[in-house]
Structure 1
Amino acid sequence: MEPSEVTGARLGDDRRTLLLDAPVPSGAHACVRKLKAVLTDPMADLVRVQITFTSPSGDRASGCTKESTATAKVRLPMPLGDRDVIVDNYTRFTADGAKPPGLRLCGKLGCTPPATGCTAASYDQALMAVDAPEHTYRDSEKCDGKWLVLDFSWRTGPACGDSTDPACSSRLGDRWFFRAKNTGWAPIVRTSAGGCRDVQRAEPAFPASLCASLAPLSTSLHPSFPPPSASPTRRTRL
């Protein structure tokens, strides 16, 4: 079997030994055997690694019902350099911006998320920050690079997604206000009210130029979709 995730990665002093921390079953007796990390492809622009082990944890009688962290080690054929590391096909680490000997865990937006700004990529980050539903449509944005108002909506009904089924002929809307931080857009407050009152109660410095003209959002279902040419912002939970 394989660990469900990898929680940390670092390099040895030789810059060739890769140490990977992963959660594994634990209990009163030996719960992990043959823990190992291996390269799955020749080392090129990326380093691809797989971690495996065996465990009786599927048998409740084994007592392996808890979890602990174990470290698997693999020696690379050459120093890691500026290559990223991908573990078990989906968890990615990078040396860029990391404090040696550790490697930095990349997030949902990759190893180099878009800088905060008035761009579509940064609006996608804002949607992630408020856990927007899947298949969300951005309806409007007001942005000056430091502050952001984002209105968005999503279809409702059974199995909507990208479907054109009549059961999905309505949408719900939401409005969030954000402030720019080094890590991206940080949520301030959520409201359906118009104007500046709610956001300036939470953050008095929010500029009136971005909120004074905002109309209230309807709390009822909206009867229309975005025009067919509009592309949804696809949100996939990982």
Structure 2
Amino acid sequence: MRRLTTALLCLAVLVGCARPGDAPVQVGPAADTGWTTYQTDVTAVRAGADPRSLVLTVALLGDADGCSRNPRITYFTEENNRIYANVVQDSRLSGVVGACPTHTPGEVTLTAPGPIAGRTVVLNEQPWKPDGAGYQRCDPTFGCGPMPKDHCDQAWVSVVVRGMDVSRHSTGSVEGCDGTWLVMTVPFDPVPCGAEPRPGCDASVNVRRYFLRWAGQGGWETIANSTEAGCGPVRTTEPAFPRKLCAHLPRP
């Protein structure tokens, strides 16, 4: 009986020492705080004071000490009249969720052994071409060469079709274009039954007519589409669309 009483007293003392709301201590590995090297996004390129150099504006991880340090050029080589380089930064907190939610601009200087002399520069596998006093990213479609001056060129048409919600086999058939306005038909899927049609497959092709407006550097943008004859709804959406490009068109 004496032993039971002693045990109950000990239990009461332990319960009395516990405070409501006390959480158990979590024991486990801490977040990795070692410095690791990461690729840095380049947002702008301009010529440096030295003909052998370029100044790169980069996006550094930000908002906390330990997010970024030592932005720099690592890999560098010259080949086929191009300069190739990788731009990196070190971070201790990039692996910690929410630790580095923003970016801050920084600068890195790229220096070549000889004059850069207007050569294309490939930074982190992204080519940049000279553009006046600075550089601009090469177009993902047209590369570093000049873009077609003729807005009605099939290359521009192919770009806008690739951005549509249609089959990768679809192509645009231009019905009218004056450089500012474009009307064309695009099949949803030109081979709905595949290269070798299956028995019982309906091979009819769903074709729509698209009306587009030239949007400058971005190319063509769609303003309306229709399965009707003529101009369909485009004149309601955009009264400036010229009737001569669509008034006499049959159903697509």
**TM-score, with length taken from structure 2:** 0.67
Shift, 1:25, TM fit: 1.5
The superposition leaves residues 201-221 of structure 1 with CA deviations (integer Å, 9 ceiling, x where unpaired) of: 33434333321233445xxxx
Q: CA 1:27–1:204 in 2, change beyond 3 Å: closer, same or farther?
A: closer
Deviations 1:63-122 (A, max 9, x none): 333322222221112222221111111x22111xx231x212222222322223433212
Distance across 2 between alignment mates of 1:23 and 1:136: 38
Larger Rg, first or second structure (1 or 2): 2
Partner of residue 99, structure 1: 132
Change (3 A) 1:185 1:74: closer
State percent identity of aligned pairs.
Answer: 22
> How far is 1:137 from its partner?
1.0
Greater shift, 104-113 or 62-71, is seen at 62-71
Cα deviation code 1:126-172 (max 9, x no counterpart):
335x555561412521134423212223449xxx9x88796997865
Aligned pairs for 1:39-58 (under 5 A) are 39-42=75-78, 44-58=80-94
Q: How many residues align?
A: 208
Structure 1 Cα separation of the partners of residues 42 and 53 of structure 2: 16
Distance change >3 Å, CA 134–CA 22, structure 1 → 2: farther
Residues 5 and 168 from structure 1, CA distance in 2 versus in 1: closer, same or farther, beyond 3 angstroms? farther
Say if 2:208 and 2:225, in contact at 8 Å, map to a contact too: yes
Instruction: Confirm or deny that 1:210 pairs with 2:242.
Output: no
Describe how 1:27-38 pairs up with structure 2 within 5 A: 27-38=63-74
2:247 is matched by which residue type in structure 1?
A
How has the CA–CA distance of structure 1 residues 72 and 170 changed in structure 2, closer, same or farther, with 3 Å as cutoff? farther
- Aligned counterpart, 2:176: 143
- 1:231 corresponds in structure 2 to none
Structure 2 spans left out of the alignment, 5+ residues: 1-36
Task: Please tell me the root mean square deviation across aligned C-alpha atoms, in Å.
Answer: 3.3
Using CA pairs below 8 Å that are at least 6 residues apart, which structure has the higher relative contact order? 1
Task: Determine the C-alpha separation between the residues in 2 that align with 1:29 and 1:86.
Answer: 30
Determine the structure 2 residue equivalent to 1:118: 152
Which residue identity does 1:191 align to in structure 2? N
Q: Contact 1:36 / 1:52 at 8 angstroms: preserved in 2?
A: yes
| TM-score (norm: length of structure 1) | 0.70
